[in-house]
Amino acid sequence: MAHFVKTFSRISREDVQDVGGKAANLGELTRKGFNVPQGFCVTAASLSHLIVSNGLEKSIADIADRFDYDDYGAMEEATSAIRELICKTELPEGLNAEIMEAIKKLRDGGADFVAVRSSVAVKNTSISSFPGMMDTYHYLKGEEEILDHIRQCWASLWTTRATMNRHHKGIDHNLGIIAAIVQKMVFPETAGVLFTANPITSSREEVVIEANWGLGESVVSGKSMNDFYLLAKDPLALKQKNISKKTVMVDFNGEKGSGRREHAVAPDMMDKPTLDDNQAVALARKGLEIEAAFGAPQDIEWACQAGELFILQTRNIRTLKN
């Protein structure tokens, strides 16, 4: 049985300390029958194994001991040095073999392109996400490219923003864990986020959807103007929609043949709704099914490809006031 790699079907919410919050929830979604793109998780123990096997503990600790949190430039230089240590280190043979086998099986399942995404937690706490702190990579294909981005994913535990965030929250750096998710890539026409409670008013009787063309990265990053849909839960019905002039989107970089690109929305698509009313209601209904499965209001990332809805992430909404 694999020691460092787990497919989503072998993961549940109980595995947060092993795979991080994102992967734990993807596993739970998969086990409960929701449509999650096929994938696997390279567990949090893998980075520790890489560091110990290559004798990097002292080098990383020495750099971290000299952090000057009041000097951003110095912090960027120091954290960059840690990231470089991780990115340039060879994977231990057993770990490399497990990942390569998992990539082969994913390809046999029809995955031409994959995404590499981070999944984090803090040891011995309930913290299982740091939204916007870690890196995600889209449309990767070659084995070496995938392995390289797994290393970059691990290294993103030590971005300046993530390191400073832990410091300001009083979290010991040694308690942060990161796992790498490798997942079949979706080529969505439209994507976005769905909240099964209103994150603005904290109303638990409303569903909020934001959507844009292409990948949901433009929505999550805040770079785009998005279509907005507000729905009542009981009975489930559309209450309000605002169709924005969408000017920027993110999708597959066809010219390069891999990776993603950010570009202008075609003029004839700027004012066109990303979802019709029936699609918005159907999406909200799926969100409520996920809320019921997890027992709490959810913040969900979703994508639609050729009429098929995929769930890319879910997590509890932690900002509600009631």
The CATH number given to whatever domain includes residue 28 is 3.30.1490.20
Asked whether the CA dihedral 141, 147, 148, 153 is positive or negative, the reply is positive
286 and 155 inside one domain: no
pTM for this entry:
0.93
DSSP label at residue 214:
B
Instruction: Give dist(CA 159, CA 2) in Å, integer.
Output: 29
Domain around 308? 190-316
**What local confidence, expressed as pLDDT, does residue 256 receive?**
83
77 and 121 inside one domain: yes
Residue 321 inside a domain? The answer is: no
Using the predicted structure, report yes or no on whether residue 258 has a pLDDT greater than 90.
no
Ranges of H-type helices in 160-224: 160-169, 217-220
Domain count, the chain: 2
- pLDDT digits 0-9 by tens, 268-291: 999 999 999 999 999 999 999 999
Three-state SS for 230? strand
179 and 195 inside one domain: no
132 confidence band (pLDDT: 50, 70, 90) = low
**Could you give the count of Cα atoms lying within 13 Å of 272 in the half-sphere of its Cβ?**
9
222 confidence band (pLDDT: 50, 70, 90) = confident
**What local confidence, expressed as pLDDT, does residue 134 receive?**
67
224 and 163 inside one domain: no
321 confidence band (pLDDT: 50, 70, 90) = confident
Q: In what order do the strands lie in the sheet with 5-7?
A: 5-7, 39-42, 176-184, 114-122, 136-140
Mean confidence (pLDDT) of the chain: 93
